[in-house]
Amino acid sequence: MIDRRVFIRQIGLVGIAGSLLPEISIYSKPRTSSLPRSTPEAQGISSAAIERYFDAIEKSGQEFHATMIVKNGHVIAEAWWAPYRSDHRMQLYSMSKSFTSTAIGFAQQEKLLNVEDPVIDYFKDVLPDKISDHLKALKIKHLLMMGVGMAKDSIMIIEKSPTGTPWSKTFLSLPIDFEPGTKFLYNSGASFMLSNIVQKVSGMTAHEYLRPRLYEPLGIVNTTWSTNPEGINFGASHLRLTTEDMVKFGQFYLQNGMWNGKQLLNQDYIHEATTKQISNGNSDGSWSYGYGYQFWLNPPGGFRADGAFGQYSMVFPDQNAVVAINSESLGKVETMSLVWNVLWPELNKKLPIQSNTVERNKLKKRLEHVHYDPPQYVYASDREDAIENKPFHFEENELGIETITFQAHKKSISFIIKEKDLAPYTITCGRNEWISKGNIKPLPHSLFSRRRIDFDSITAAAAGWETQNTLKISMRFIETCHGDNLTCVFDGDTITISLLFSVPLAQKKADDRKDLIGYL
């Protein structure tokens, strides 16, 4: 089990009536364009059952950032683990694929394409000199169902396309080993190709295309979706939106494409996208119950949009329920099992039950006080006076760090970082508490990051002295799944900074970034 005690946790369960408290109330009012709220009991679930779900989360060792439960169209429970908040956009990883599929559905509805169309019809300017029979047979629906026929995922290859070479050209040049539609292989390159097709037929990115068709009707705002060097949305990943946006997306599919009484996307495409189009196993694991059009089928029934490290919008039509999760969970099976084994049986209940004030108040009291503190350090180092406002200049390094200047305050420690080609910026770390106000990771690959954390992000940071000469800094990039940890060791006029990304930290492995060496 992974020790995740370095992070505060504050959970809020929401109902329809009563007072409003930030992020921790079980009775808060819905925000603008949000789903209606209800008590669990009014939708047939007891507060005690919801508490058992959170008990299971506590015991699982998985790091949840947010979860929301919708039953009968009403939010009956929602939680954000501080420093994450309800208004923060969240990184979805491959859950983005389901939005790409939705864009294809709208494009077919508008007769801009048909899923039966050959893929090569849309890329005549970048086709290889020799077109194989399998490439000729490749249809849009094969991209959707991950039935391209390639022997391995193409994404790592197409991302390394030579400068100026379209990713689609690289994709189409790769061998297709099996007849399309006959063999499942998870292929993120296929999702990129779908995004590319949407852009070709609509004249706008998939993200722009979805805005008036999906985002605006559902009240989804302030979203981002990164593009490749050609200006095409990745399709397979890199979408960010709030947890409530995720759960509304699931509710949209639960309602067969209808929203506020209007049929936005036709039911035929919804049905095809969310039912088994290709076999991907023997129904003996969470990813082996079949695959639709960029949607996975759930073991107990229904379907889900699914992203790395545990980003989910799970839809259960028979239970009229949706469950959304944001997390940085290494054990995705364990994370999903919390829903299958603990929560899903309760979602089967259909009739309202009598409210239990004792259970509800007990749950409320518990959730208002449960938390994980950031790292706690009580050492008071006089090193602070020696380094105050004195820039450390760093040896040339792959992270582009040029100088770092430390400043000490009563309740915080700040560092001003100067990176190559960037203006200096400041990260303020609370002493044994998270501070996020004013802390921004300004670019995708900044603030020591070069991989995975490929977004700008609000940053929550905490710091303290482990010893007289060792300063520890923890950062949470709270609009992504991840975080970073710095160990700063001072020796005379020299500083050595060791880095530990949150994933190898949880895996109990070393980071592959080299130490940074700086001098006063």
Q: Which amino acid is at 338?
A: L
Lowest mean pLDDT among 281-290, 315-324, 371-380: 371-380
CA distance 516 to 395: 7
Q: pLDDT: is 374 or 95 the higher one? A: 95
pLDDT at residue 368, rounded to an integer: 66
Q: Is the pLDDT of residue 296 over 90?
A: yes
| 428-439 burial: b if 16+ Cβ within 10 Å, else e | bbbbebbbbeeb
Output the average pLDDT for the chain: 90
pLDDT at residue 366, rounded to an integer: 67
**What separation, in Å, do the N-terminal and C-terminal C-alpha atoms of the chain show?**
41
Share of the chain above pLDDT 90, in %: 80
When pLDDT is cut at 50, 70 and 90, the band that residue 17 belongs to is very low
Contacts of 274 (CB under 8 A, 6+ apart): 253, 292, 293, 295, 303, 315
Per residue in 141-166, pLDDT (tens digit) is 999 999 999 999 999 999 999 999 99
pLDDT at residue 371, rounded to an integer: 63
Distance of CA 292 to the CA centre of its chain: 21
Average pLDDT over residues 379-391: 91
Average pLDDT over residues 52-68: 93
Lowest mean pLDDT among 91-95, 357-361, 372-376: 372-376
When pLDDT is cut at 50, 70 and 90, the band that residue 256 belongs to is very high
For 378, the token pair is 């009580």
pLDDT at residue 299, rounded to an integer: 94
When pLDDT is cut at 50, 70 and 90, the band that residue 31 belongs to is very low
Q: Is the pLDDT of residue 25 over 80?
A: no
When pLDDT is cut at 50, 70 and 90, the band that residue 79 belongs to is confident
Flag whether the pTM goes above 0.95.
no
Q: Is the pLDDT of residue 170 over 90?
A: yes
CA distance 127 to 172: 6
When pLDDT is cut at 50, 70 and 90, the band that residue 197 belongs to is very high
Per residue in 257-266, pLDDT (tens digit) is 999 999 999 9
Q: Is the pLDDT of residue 28 over 80?
A: no
When pLDDT is cut at 50, 70 and 90, the band that residue 10 belongs to is very low
Q: Is the pLDDT of residue 284 over 60?
A: yes
| 414-424 burial: b if 16+ Cβ within 10 Å, else e | bbbbbbeeeee
Q: Is 127 exposed, middle or buried (0-12, 13-18, 19+ CB in 10 A)?
A: middle
Q: Is the pLDDT of residue 330 over 80?
A: yes
pLDDT at residue 11, rounded to an integer: 32
Q: pLDDT: is 176 or 282 the higher one? A: 176
Lowest mean pLDDT among 82-86, 107-111, 376-380, 476-480: 376-380
Average pLDDT over residues 103-130: 98
Please, are residues 79 and 11 in contact by the beta-carbon 8 Å criterion? yes
Q: Is the pLDDT of residue 5 over 90?
A: no
Average pLDDT over residues 280-299: 90
Q: Is the pLDDT of residue 95 over 60?
A: yes
CA distance 376 to 19: 33
Q: Is the pLDDT of residue 55 over 90?
A: yes
pLDDT at residue 356, rounded to an integer: 85
pLDDT at residue 26, rounded to an integer: 35
pLDDT at residue 374, rounded to an integer: 87
CA distance 104 to 109: 9
Please, are residues 139 and 119 in contact by the beta-carbon 8 Å criterion? yes
pLDDT at residue 367, rounded to an integer: 65
pLDDT at residue 33, rounded to an integer: 64
pLDDT at residue 379, rounded to an integer: 83
**Is residue 71 within a helix (H) or strand (E), and if so which, with residue range?**
strand 64-71
Q: Is the pLDDT of residue 110 over 60?
A: yes
Lowest mean pLDDT among 215-219, 302-306, 438-442, 446-450: 446-450
Average pLDDT over residues 278-286: 85
CA distance 164 to 153: 22
Q: pLDDT: is 380 or 141 the higher one? A: 141
pLDDT at residue 375, rounded to an integer: 84
Tally of CB atoms within 10 A around 159: 15
Average pLDDT over residues 125-130: 96
Lowest mean pLDDT among 78-92, 124-138, 313-327, 414-428: 78-92
Average pLDDT over residues 291-299: 97
